Amino acid sequence: MPPTLTSPPPAVAAPSAGPTESVVLPRLIARAAALGETGARSLLRPAGLRPDVLDGPATARIPSMHLYRLWTEVVGRTGRQDAGLLTAAQYRHGQFDLFDYLFSTAPTLGEGLDAARAHLHLLSDASLLTTEESEDEVTLTYGALLPDSELRGVVAEFVLGAFSQVIRHSTGGAVGPARISFAHGAPRRTADHTALFGGGRIDFGAGTDSITLHRRALDTPLPGADPALAAIIRRTASAVPPPRPAGPLPELRRAILTQFADGRPSLAAAARQLAVSPRTLQRRLAEADTTWRAELDAVRQEFSVGLRRTGTWSAQHAATRLGYAEARSLRRAQSRWDARDEPGPADGDGAGAPEGTGGPAAEGARQS
């Protein structure tokens, strides 16, 4: 049954700052990994999630960090590095709530994909889906704003597996991936991958996580196409716009987050992502009365809070995730953040370390 559409879904406040996920995701993950509701609830508690995730409103959100923590619990308890793939295999149409019906009521597969990209935030605002078209193919590449090297393969197999399921259901089984590419290395056995993805070629160690379709598949009509219902669902989905990160230049902070996946952020790389020159980006920062160093520092501080909430904090791991060359740099930054957050005179203790010090401000300047 389609979701209730009598009124727009409420925008449920996130329990903490930072990117969030729809509760439909931990709901599917916990139930797929556990035997019965009791087992599912026992997975949620160590991940910092409340039991009502399983039966509360589908419009509720959870911090993205808690979803990573749930994946850690699932892999730890099951001992299965293919837990993401096995979870995707249990997906059924409708479990992604509004997102599923945005896709399946579109006239064609291409329009369904357009709707999916435009409204991916209904499922996750910590995820990115980009498209690259060639003469014969179209490739959809998945990326995460909160990358985790230990869980990247698990999450990627879940995302691409589930997305392939959505495509297959929405086209009545008429379309499957021509090729699946994973950044992680090949597992010992791939029979389950073949079973889930069908006849498409599966590449491991490809550097990206993506699904490639034949371009002609975009014109495939969808059996569930319903113009009237699609219009209602689009209006409903439009009432939940993509969240905007805090700060004077929110698009910059999002660009910084995406760079954590590849190493140490730089102003030049951020400018490329924003399709402006480094000089233009610096001018916009000055107009907003901020600097590259201050924005990078703010994102690192906020992201570090999320890492601590996962319960798996270690200085070296966190330093790597935050783009520092070594744990010592993170410890210096943490001391400065703690001092800055203290009430009283310490509040004015500088928005960043002075140039020439070894703090992340100077490090950010060197990277630019």
Q: Which of 60, 163, 41 is nearest to 113 (CA)?
A: 163
Question: In this structure, how many other beta carbons lie within 10 angstroms of the beta carbon of residue 244?
Answer: 11
Q: Band of the pLDDT at 344, cuts 50, 70, 90?
A: very low
Question: Is the pLDDT at 159 greater than 80, yes or no?
Answer: yes
The candidate with the shortest Cα–Cα distance to 34, out of 88, 82, 78, is: 78
Please report the DSSP string for 254-301 in residue order: HHHHHHTTTSS--HHHHHHHTTS-HHHHHHHHHHTT--HHHHHHHHHH
- The residues with which 209 forms a beta bridge, in sequence order, are 142
Q: How do beta strands 179-181 and 201-203 pair?
A: parallel
CA distance 320 to 169: 39
What is the percent of the chain where pLDDT is above 90? Answer: 46
Residue type, 334: Q
**CA angle 317–61–113, rounded 5-degree value:** 90
Say whether 141 sits in a helix, a strand or coil.
strand
Token duo for residue 116: 């999916």
Q: Is the pLDDT of residue 283 over 80?
A: yes
**Picking from 76-80, 82-86, 298-302, which range would have the lowest pLDDT averaged per residue?**
298-302
For the chain, what is the radius of gyration of the CA atoms?
21
Tokens (6 digits) for 286: 């000055």
Give the per-residue pLDDT at 131: 85
pLDDT in tens, 44-61: 999 989 988 999 888 899
Strands (E), 145-287: 179-181, 201-203, 209-214
Neighbours of 148 (CB within 10 A): 20
Given a contact cutoff of 8 angstroms between Cβ atoms, the answer to whether 183 and 207 are in contact is yes
pLDDT score recorded for residue 307: 63
Q: How far apart are CA 50 and CA 185, in angstroms?
A: 34
Q: What is the per-residue pLDDT across 219-252, written as a single tens digit (0 to 9) for each?
A: 999 999 999 999 999 999 988 877 665 566 767 8
Q: How far apart are CA 141 and CA 49, in angstroms?
A: 29
Sign of CA dihedral 54, 77, 206, 296: positive
How much is the pLDDT for 148? 63
Average pLDDT of the chain, as a whole number: 81
* Range with lowest mean pLDDT among 186-195, 216-225, 230-239, 260-269: 260-269
Sign of CA dihedral 47, 26, 165, 254: negative
Number of Cβ atoms within 10 Å of the Cβ of 354: 9
The whole-number average pLDDT for the span 104-131 is 91
